[in-house]
Amino acid sequence: MHRMLALLSCFMLASPLLECQDDSSQSYFSPDQLDNLLAPVALYPDPLLAQVLVAATFPDDIDAAARFLRANPDPAQIDGESWDVSVKAVAHYPDVISMMADSLDWTTALGQAYAEQPDDVMASVQRLRAQARAAGNLESGPQQEVVDDGGNIEIWPAQADSISVPVYDPGVVYFGSGGAMGSDVETFGPPCVIGVWLNRDFDWRHRRIFYHGWSSGQGWVGRARRYVQLNPVYVDSRFQNVATGRAVAVNIKNYAALDRYSSVHRNVTFSRAGAAPQAPSGAVPAGNKVIQRNFDTSDPRLNAFRGDAQAPMLRAGSKVIPQPQVRESQQPALPPQPSTPGYRLPEVNRPAPQPTAQEPQRPHNEAFGANPGPFAPQQASQRGQASRSEMAQPAPRMSSPAPSRAPGPRDTGRR
The closest alpha carbon to 221, from 192, 200, 203, 207, belongs to 200
pLDDT at position 217 is 73
Give 195-223 pLDDT, tens digit per residue: 999 999 999 999 999 999 999 778 999 99
Give 151-200 pLDDT, tens digit per residue: 999 999 999 999 999 999 999 999 987 655 556 899 999 999 999 999 99
pLDDT confidence band for 335 (50 / 70 / 90) = low
The distance in angstroms from the start CA to the end CA of the chain is 99
Give 309-332 pLDDT, tens digit per residue: 444 444 444 444 444 444 444 555
The closest alpha carbon to 234, from 274, 191, 198, belongs to 198
Least-confidence region, from 210-214, 243-247, 364-368 = 364-368
**DSSP run (H or E) holding 209:** strand 208-211
pLDDT at position 168 is 95
Distance CA 273, CA 290 (A): 6
State the number of CA atoms in the 13 A half-sphere of 179 facing the CB. 12
pLDDT at position 131 is 97
- Residue 364, SS3? coil
What mean pLDDT value characterizes the chain? 75
pLDDT at position 388 is 64
Backbone angles phi, psi at 222, to 5 degrees: -65, -35
Give 403-412 pLDDT, tens digit per residue: 445 454 444 4
Distance CA 15, CA 18 (A): 8
Give 367-396 pLDDT, tens digit per residue: 444 444 555 556 656 666 666 666 656 655
CB count in 10 Å sphere of residue 374: 9
Q: Residue 85 above 70 pLDDT? A: yes
Are 56 and 62 contacting, i.e. CB atoms less than 8 angstroms apart?
yes
State the number of CA atoms in the 13 A half-sphere of 291 facing the CB. 24
Are 49 and 41 contacting, i.e. CB atoms less than 8 angstroms apart?
yes
Q: Residue 19 above 90 pLDDT? A: no
Radius of gyration of the chain (CA): 38
Are 111 and 56 contacting, i.e. CB atoms less than 8 angstroms apart?
yes
